[in-house]
Amino acid sequence: MLADLVSTRSHVAAGHSSARDEIERCIAAAEGPTCAHVFRQTSVDQARAAAAVPGVERLPLAGLAVSVKDLFDIQGMTTAAGSTVLRDAPPAPADSPAVARLRRAGAAFIGRTHMVEFAFSGVGVNPHFGTPAAFDARHGALPGPARVCGGSSSGAGVSVATGAAFIGLGSDTGGSIRIPAALNGIVGFKNTARLVPTEGAVPLSTTLDTACALTRTVRDAVVAHEILAARRVTRSPAPLSAWRLAVPATLFLDGLDATVARAFARTLSRLRAAGAQITEIALAETAQLADVNATGGFSAAESYAWHRTLLARHGNAYDPRVKSRIERGAGMSAADYIDLLHARRTWIARMQTAMADFDALLSPTVPIVAPPIASVAPGSERDAEFFRVNGLLLRNTSVVNMLDGCALSLPCHEAGELPVGLMVWHGALRDDPVLNIGLLIEQELQKQ
């Protein structure tokens, strides 16, 4: 298992290692075969320079490697958002706030990572630049054919899983942090959206977009969140038995892959044996989301508003699968959009009432294991399978985005199993309880 940021930072501070040594290890991983298609652009010289700054070891990130999804502005670099239509855009005049906060904390930016074009898919496939293959951070390369790594923060996930980065800065609009976390055996934390600024990032949905990070452990997720949100997480001394947990049945447990079902059931059993109070509930309100989003949802409407001029000029250069989803927004009227806003607020209120008695909810992050890349690769003959897989990967995670909530995905699989994620989640501004519970669950699962 890879050493995490917290332990590596301690080794650096104690003089047992150095930021320079650690950045060389990450560069070797980034340039190795397991990182094929992971980086759109590497910046190893800048990373080495950042790791060599005097006193960097005293900063929160201690000169350790961080990757940045090709969605966020980095001063002097072009932000292409996984597309070809923006590749000749002028370099960004300044860092996005998320990048600036990581830089001030001592990040050594190792490169810009691959992503789904304009972040519009949970699968991770990109027809322009190739697709990274999933990698299990806990147990090494996956057996059999290359499998999808999840999206849209695809390269970010693999950069962390392979050891090329300690933190992968990404975004989550419907699951784009948590899906790669689940499929690569790492941790992804989607904070309440308003806590981290999204300025300086190419938008997908201005309503749902969240700037957040992938990490190797939950305690690293706490560090990353505190930097990105410029706030301290309130730690709780309460044991696992003190928290009230719920498992919602509606939607979240439908049609689980056998591996996911086995890992989830085993995890609940272990947590109950450790004293966790876990109650099964219906949470029937989640079944109402299909009606709420019947006219296309926020992502279609808000992405079309941003893309319509680019589509008119360069529509043929878009990934056809992405283009078709964006163009759904053209058919949404202003009245439809206003109705959607009202419907979401009403739905959130019902969900908050239904969850009020619990500190967090537990669900499989995604209902399936990663399918082979070949089954969903670009090509119209595979479109039906691609959209089926995409819908499944986004199904559980997207509930939290519509809820304006927060969620943590952490690995719960064992050796010999494909990666499976456990999602710990709740509504808006419940970030600290979710992280505290995640820390306890991680500690318990690591005993096995």
Instruction: Kindly name the residue from 96, 152, 205, 303 that is annotated as catalytic.
Output: 152
- 190 noted as active-site residue: no
Instruction: Kindly name the residue from 43, 67, 69, 205 that is annotated as catalytic.
Output: 69
- 176 noted as active-site residue: yes
| Distance (Å, whole) CA 260 – CA 411 | 11
Instruction: Kindly name the residue from 121, 176, 299, 398 that is annotated as catalytic.
Output: 176
Which of 198, 161, 192 lies closest to 179, judged by CA? 161
| Distance (Å, whole) CA 164 – CA 149 | 15
| Distance (Å, whole) CA 435 – CA 191 | 10
Q: Are strands 360-364 and 244-248 parallel, antiparallel or unpaired?
A: parallel
61 burial (CB, 10 Å; 0-12 / 13-18 / 19+) is buried
| Distance (Å, whole) CA 243 – CA 439 | 12
- 152 noted as active-site residue: yes
Q: Which residues are catalytic?
A: 69, 152, 176
